[in-house]
Chain A
Amino acid sequence: MIIAEKKPIEEIIDEVKDFNRLLILGCNECVTVCEAGGKKEVEILASALRMYFINKGDEKVITENTLERQCDHEYLEELRSNIDDYDAIVSLACGVGVQFAAEKYLTTPLIPGVNTVCLGANEDRGLWTERCQACGSCVLARTGGICPVSRCAKRVLNGPCGGSTNGKCEISKDVDCAWQLILDRLKALDKMGDYEKIAPIKDWSTDRAGGPRTVTREDVKI
């Protein structure tokens, strides 16, 4: 899923201070699961903003709403009938949701309430970690199911680099060396012989480098 984290409240306050009628808009998908932008976080942010502005003698009209998904026309349409009630929307969705809303409601300012961090997993209670960078050309079959693109700080395809120490990355003792994990998996799979296969130079045109990416499926188009 997409992992996000809450923006500092000071940053949000600075962005919204000149608007009087705000909609705090959550999303019931990834950001709910990673506890950054679901219904609960909408309530908390709305309350915090109300208190802040009341204390400043600036009472704003703050509305709360959480959509099933913000990356979907159908659900975003639910806002249309009331969209003129808001001077701005603070969206707690990922960057996709914020933009989809912005594209749909051209004259309504959209302010992101979270920072979109990565594609990751809920590794432990309160811990979300990256697993994929959406490079558009998956190499996991050749790397024991562990991704060197997203999990190696140098995205080394023929690793590990010389900085791997005690299974940890040179950037931090708290970061696993992706190539140590790959080797552990290859060993568990009894495929250590695969280690000496040389990963060819990667085609990054399917990655960010190739420009904004699209997937077109004629078979599912209406």
Chain B
Amino acid sequence: MSDLNTASNLEKVLKAGHIGVTSECGPPRGSDADEVKKKGALIRDYVDAINVTDNQTAMTRMSSLAACVHLKLMGIEPVLQMVTRDRNRVALQSDILGAASFDIPNMLCLSGDHQSFGDCAQGQNVHDLDSMQLVQTVRYMRDEGKFLGGDDIKRPPKIFVGAAANPFADPFEIRVPRLAKKIACGAEFIQTQCIYNLDKFKEWIKIAADRGLTEKTFIMAGMTPMKSVGMAKYMKNRVPGMDVPDEIIKRLAGAEKGKQAQEGIDICVEHIQELKELNGVSGFHIMAIEWEEKVPEIVERSGLYPRPEV
């Protein structure tokens, strides 16, 4: 995994053998770019790249691509998240070229939450491609220099391609085979669902490592600090595919009044410190949802600061 395929800083950091760090920034529900820029400025020095979510939970927001451009113009490296829910293969390829025209060097390919979760429950969904086929599409455009239709692309997109993995979704037995499929489709890095159940995550990554998969892709462990016991319970009970063990909830509930948020940060830092040593973990994807100001503290206390210059 040593040759560089793109100009991505994230690719360089990971291929140089450093533990990579990414975070994310959700675009606003409005057209004020300052919200994106502020979030970017808060975390830029603590991460190698920043994911920009694509209408997450199917709530209509500023486009991921536009928000990525704002970050890029600030000199921050974005990871463009793209879901297959809202765009067909014409629009996806077109947006990939649009991103590449701004030299946005990373993409994360997702299927996206179902639109019934969002503000347009009566809308159509597209799903012309699925997330794996989107990974294949970006790789094909980059490596073969061709559109899906077969025509040559002038200046093909140089994009480092990622996919998501959820070690906790059901059924567990196909979680590693599913990872293998994503890698076979061309996923060069993987960002996982938020990890709270460390034992299950370790089991998953061991099976992946035993199959040699952790040598073929960079697995970035997903981390989301809990702000409160209420959030932990919500994530446990209401968010599909999330595994929050009871001891996390007990620990947050046991924190002194007004100190649950700090307890959540502490748990997150402890988890990163523990997983940092784990074979197969190449980095961390810290998703501090609407809590971006805590990313510097988490990164510093986890021993991941300063970020390497590569």
- Chain A interface residues (CB < 8 Å from chain B): 153-167, 170-171, 177, 180, 183, 195-196, 198-201, 204
Contacts and interface: CB of A to CB of B under 8 A. Distances in A.
Contacts of A200: 133
A200 B129 CA distance: 9
Contacts of A171: 114, 116
Interface string B162-201: 0010100111001001001100110000000100000000
Given A183-B171, A195-B174, A158 B113 contact: no
- The 9 A-B pairs with the shortest beta carbon distances in the complex, nearest first, are A170-B240, A162-B166, A163-B240, A158-B132, A156-B130, A162-B241, A201-B133, A154-B127, A161-B111
Contacts of A177: 170
Contact of B130 (A157, A165, A167): A157
Contact of A170 (B85, B114, B129, B133): B114
B42 interface: no
A53 B136 CA distance: 61
A154 B85 contact: yes
A161 B164 CA distance: 10
Contacts of A199: 130, 133
B177 A195 contact: yes
B137 interface: yes
A158 B130 contact: yes
Interface in B101-139: 111-114, 116-117, 125, 127-133, 136-137
B148 interface: yes
B277 to A, nearest CB: 26
A198 B177 contact: no
Contacts of B111: 154, 156, 161-162
B193 to A, nearest CB: 6
B174 A165 contact: no
A180 B130 contact: no
A159 B130 contact: yes
B4 to A, nearest CB: 26
B89 interface: yes
A157 B133 contact: yes
B128 to A, nearest CB: 6
A153 B137 CA distance: 22
A204 B88 CA distance: 11
Given A164-B170, A167-B170, A158 B181 contact: yes
